[in-house]
């Protein structure tokens, strides 16, 4: 028995003692294979899941390494049954392989014929298989490559895909390296993806995921389709590619609500791709409109269901997913794993911060006490309206105004979920507002003025959660959010993590109504912060008004 920080339990939960001297080293060591579930003050609860262990396996970690980590940090003896379960779960990954065969085309091969027999008898798998070639091999209909991987994952037998990729139409793309160079982690991320064939790279906001995408394109040297969250993000990608690669403006097309250009490198928005006319997704044909050598999914954790469905059909194209967090509140992480590919590279946010590539952040929860009238309104509201009622109170608005005044010399983003709330606070602060119906040109103008310091305060809706580059933003004030969304917490914190020209840190305030659903949801959101190693402190709203912040 050692005095380690970790208690490993037979129900696959890991309890991490945050006050232990080795807790930070332990957190980093278990992060590649364990998912954080709860993060109160002293003991954080992680869970081992099959998907987490398979992602770790695909990223190069083996069962021996996982077991050694648990034994090294565990305070008590590790249950033997759990060690066996870890070894067997990780051993399932790669027992089935998809490969190309010169005679039979696409084949499913196994190192364990009993496993192959088992999955071949499954109702959802059988129609996707052709003839049984021998004891270890089935022919597979090529069009079923993605659907088969989905079905096998659900059966608990994830297939490793070695079937290869079409090169696509070649197109020369080189990285320009004048005045800058790839950071080590960006180079490792691009190489990890390229050697794996397809998969996901997880990096913090502000760490240069676009650069990783550009480096992957330089590896592929082929026509590329890039899918992004919105038109502003599309234009940021275009500008970055022109600045960092040999590509010219004429080689890059925008496929959005405003333009429909198909060029060797085409940047399309998820919104236009999932627009339906008479029940048909007309623009999904873009996937087939060109002989793409690479498809990049920006903010892959947001991938809409129709894109998943079409991705199942294009498994012969290399696919790169980029994200700050693989958390999906809809539980579709398995679809990302089977259709885009497993996690190929991940690095803790704090590690990037320690290298000076993202700003240090102080995360502060401001607890707001509602007035008696507001409490009564909350108590008498219908259940489905309660979160909105407690999120949009006048008391919260007053605290946000006081914080904005306190930070009037900083670049401040006030971020909210509810349009009437952000309209009201923008009017009272005399600040411009960006929301869903703000025209693209107006958004770009306001973002530009915020970057150059002409305006120092912006009020934004959730449209600013994603892919917006505002390097000098140093203060975020979150007044309301999407229930308990951890992915949103990651994106909003990421808005202020770009390194500042003067080396300043960032501060992320989250205003939370005490003794309400708002407080319950906040605890879930903060799991993300704890998972990345951020401590958050809780202060009372009175401290804001007295300047004790």
Residues 6+ apart with CB under 8 A from 89: 50, 53, 54
Q: b vs e for 371-386, b when ≥16 Cβ sit within 10 Å of the residue's Cβ?
A: eeebbebbeeeeeeeb
* Pairing, β 96-101 against β 34-38: unpaired
Looking up tokens 């990651």, which residue turns up? 490
Rounded to an integer, the average pLDDT of 361-374 is 92
Q: Percentage of residues in the chain with pLDDT exceeding 90?
A: 61
Tell whether the model's pLDDT for residue 1 goes beyond 60: no
Q: What is the pLDDT of residues 427-455, one digit of tens each?
A: 999 999 998 888 888 988 998 898 888 99
Distance from C-alpha of 456 to C-alpha of 454, rounded to nearest angstrom: 7
Count CB neighbours of 282 within 10 A. 12
What's residue 10's pLDDT? 94
Q: For residue 145, give the H/E element and its range.
A: helix 145-154
Best-predicted range by mean pLDDT (169-173, 458-462, 508-512): 169-173
- CA 492 – CA 462 distance, rounded (Å): 9
Radius of gyration in angstroms for the set of CA atoms belonging to the chain, rounded to a whole number: 24
**How far is it, in rounded angstroms, from Cα 532 to Cα 187?**
22
The pLDDT of 8-36, averaged and rounded, is 91
Give all domains of the chain, ordered by start, each with its CATH number.
Answer: 6-92 (no CATH), 96-162 (3.30.780), 184-347 (3.40.50.300), 353-545 (3.40.50.300)
- pLDDT at position 303 is 87
**Residue 467 confidence (pLDDT):** 55
Mean pLDDT, residues 11-37: 90
Residues in the chain: 549
Lowest mean pLDDT, pick from 70-74, 419-423, 439-443: 439-443
Determine the pLDDT at residue 505: 85
Tell me the per-residue pLDDT of 201-250, one tens digit each, with 9 for 90 and over: 999 888 899 999 999 999 999 999 999 988 888 999 999 999 999 999 99
Does 24 score more than 60 pLDDT? yes
Half-sphere exposure of 310 (CA within 13 A, CB side): 19
Query: What's this model's pTM, rounded to 2 decimal places?
Result: 0.85
How many CB atoms are closer than 10 A to CB 219? 17
pLDDT tens per residue across span 116-140: 999 999 999 999 999 999 999 999 9
Q: Could you tell me which of 108, 324, 317 has the C-alpha nearest to residue 224?
A: 317
Chain mean position to CA 521: 19
pLDDT band at 346, cuts 50/70/90? Answer: confident
């Amino acid at each position: 028995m050692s005095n380690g920080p970790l208690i490993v339990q037979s129900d696959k939960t890991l309890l991490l003692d945050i006050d232990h001297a080795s807790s930070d080293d332990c957190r980093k060591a278990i992060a590649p294979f364990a998912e954080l579930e709860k993060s109160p003050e002293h003991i954080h609860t992680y869970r081992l899941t099959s998907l987490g262990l398979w992602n770790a396996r695909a990223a190069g970690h083996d069962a021996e390494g996982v077991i050694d980590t648990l034994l090294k940090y565990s305070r008590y003896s590790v249950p033997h049954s759990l060690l066996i379960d870890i070894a067997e779960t990780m051993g399932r990954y790669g027992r089935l392989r998809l490969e190309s065969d010169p005679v039979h085309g696409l084949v499913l091969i196994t190192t364990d014929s009993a496993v192959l027999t088992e999955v071949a008898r499954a109702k959802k798998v059988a129609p996707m298989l052709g003839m049984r070639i021998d004891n270890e091999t089935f022919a597979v209909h090529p069009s079923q490559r993605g659907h088969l991987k989905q079905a096998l994952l659900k059966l608990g037998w994830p297939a490793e895909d070695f079937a290869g990729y079409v090169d696509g139409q070649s197109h020369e793309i080189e990285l320009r390296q004048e005045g800058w160079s790839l950071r080590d982690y960006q180079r490792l991320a691009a190489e990890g993806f390229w050697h794996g064939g397809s998969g996901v790279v997880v990096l913090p906001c502000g760490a240069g995921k676009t650069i990783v995408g550009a480096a992957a394109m330089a590896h592929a040297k082929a026509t590329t389709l890039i899918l992004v969250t919105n038109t502003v993000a599309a234009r940021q990608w275009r500008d970055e590619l022109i600045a960092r690669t040999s590509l010219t403006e004429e080689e890059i097309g925008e496929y959005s609500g405003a333009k429909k250009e198909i060029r060797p490198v085409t940047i399309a928005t998820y919104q236009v791709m999932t627009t339906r006319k008479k029940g048909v997704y007309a623009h999904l044909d873009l996937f087939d409109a060109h002989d793409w050598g690479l498809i990049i999914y920006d903010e892959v954790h947001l991938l809409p269901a129709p894109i998943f469905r079409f991705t199942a059909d294009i498994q012969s194209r290399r696919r790169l997913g980029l994200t700050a967090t693989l958390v999906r509140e809809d539980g579709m992480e398995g679809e990302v794993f089977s259709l885009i590919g497993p996690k190929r590279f991940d690095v803790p946010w704090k590690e990037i911060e320690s290298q000076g590539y993202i700003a240090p952040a102080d995360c502060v929860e401001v607890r707001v006490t509602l007035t008696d009238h507001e409490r009564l309104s909350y108590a008498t509201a219908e259940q489905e309206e309660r979160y909105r009622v407690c999120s949009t109170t006048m008391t919260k608005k007053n605290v946000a105004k006081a914080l904005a005044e306190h930070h009037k010399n900083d670049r401040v983003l006030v971020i909210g979920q509810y349009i009437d709330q952000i309209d009201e606070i923008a009017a009272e602060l005399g600040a411009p507002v960006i929301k869903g119906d703000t025209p693209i040109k107006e958004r770009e103008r306001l973002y530009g003025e915020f970057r150059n310091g002409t305006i120092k305060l912006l009020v934004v809706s959730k449209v600013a959660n994603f892919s917006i580059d505002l390097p000098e933003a140093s203060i975020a004030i979150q007044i309301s959010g999407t229930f308990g969304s951890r992915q949103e917490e990651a994106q909003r914190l990421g808005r202020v993590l770009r390194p500042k020209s003067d080396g300043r840190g960032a501060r992320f305030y989250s205003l939370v109504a005490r003794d309400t659903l708002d407080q319950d949801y906040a605890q879930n959101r903060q799991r993300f912060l704890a998972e990345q190693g951020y401590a958050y402190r809780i202060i009372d709203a009175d401290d804001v008004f007295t300047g004790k912040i």
